[in-house]
């Protein structure tokens, strides 16, 4: 069994401003750094073999705090980037809704049926991120590994693990530095934990 601990990155400046980030490389806030240190402390007693992260700094920087506790180096994988929000990156909800109201409505009601203008579809996100997870599972039989990524990407990976339709992607909550645990056995996948943030209360 391969145990994969999926962690969302800490708070960023665009999280505060409610702007869509996608592939834009936005730094952690001071609170985001504090959240990253707290999740690293929480995972310090896990027997972690490797730490992987999206190559975007908000995920990579969060991963560095976790890796440091285990004397590991973070391995960057662009496959774990957030969905590309294309022309929406840097805009907030109201500005996007003013210009693309129909697409924005479908983003939340039927996300599997749209392409974000200039960006990706959720199917494309699932294809690249799930393919990367499958490669890591093959490399890490009987290991525990950490993957630090983004809200949309983790939701998509959880949809795959739960074998539920991508139109349910927004039914899964993901807070900053949320911990999710998925166990990959040869004949089944088990989701053991979703959106756990109790470390932020310590």
- The DSSP string of 8-43 is E---BHHHHTTB--TTS---B-HHHHHHHHHHHHHT
The answer to whether residue 199 is catalytic is no
Name the catalytic one among 23, 61, 64, 82: 82
How many angstroms separate the CA atoms of 146 and 6, rounded? 6
The answer to whether residue 82 is catalytic is yes
How many angstroms separate the CA atoms of 36 and 59, rounded? 9
CA nearest neighbour of 88 among 152, 16, 24, 27: 24
63 in Cβ contact with 146 (< 8 Å):
yes
How many angstroms separate the CA atoms of 59 and 141, rounded? 24
Report the catalytic residues: 9, 82
């Amino acid at each position: 069994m391969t145990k994969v601990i999926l962690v969302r990155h800490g708070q960023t400046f665009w999280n505060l401003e409610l702007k869509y980030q996608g592939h834009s490389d936005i730094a952690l806030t001071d609170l985001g750094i504090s959240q990253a240190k707290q999740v690293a402390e929480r995972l310090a007693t896990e027997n972690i073999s490797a730490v992987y992260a999206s190559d975007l700094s908000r995920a990579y920087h969060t991963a560095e705090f976790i890796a440091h506790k285990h004397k590991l180096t973070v391995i960057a994988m662009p496959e774990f980037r957030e969905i590309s929000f294309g022309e929406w990156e840097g805009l907030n909800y109201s500005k996007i809704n003013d210009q693309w109201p129909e697409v924005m409505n479908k983003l939340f009601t039927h996300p599997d049926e749209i392409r974000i203008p200039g960006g990706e579809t959720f199917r494309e996100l699932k294809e690249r991120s799930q393919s990367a997870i499958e490669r890591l599972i093959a490399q890490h039989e009987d290991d525990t590994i950490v993957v630090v990524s983004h809200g949309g990407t983790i939701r998509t990976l959880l949809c795959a693990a739960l074998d539920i339709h991508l139109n349910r992607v927004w039914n899964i909550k993901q807070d900053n530095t949320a911990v999710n645990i998925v166990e990959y056995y040869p004949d089944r996948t088990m989701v053991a934990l979703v959106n756990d943030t109790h470390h932020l209360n310590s």
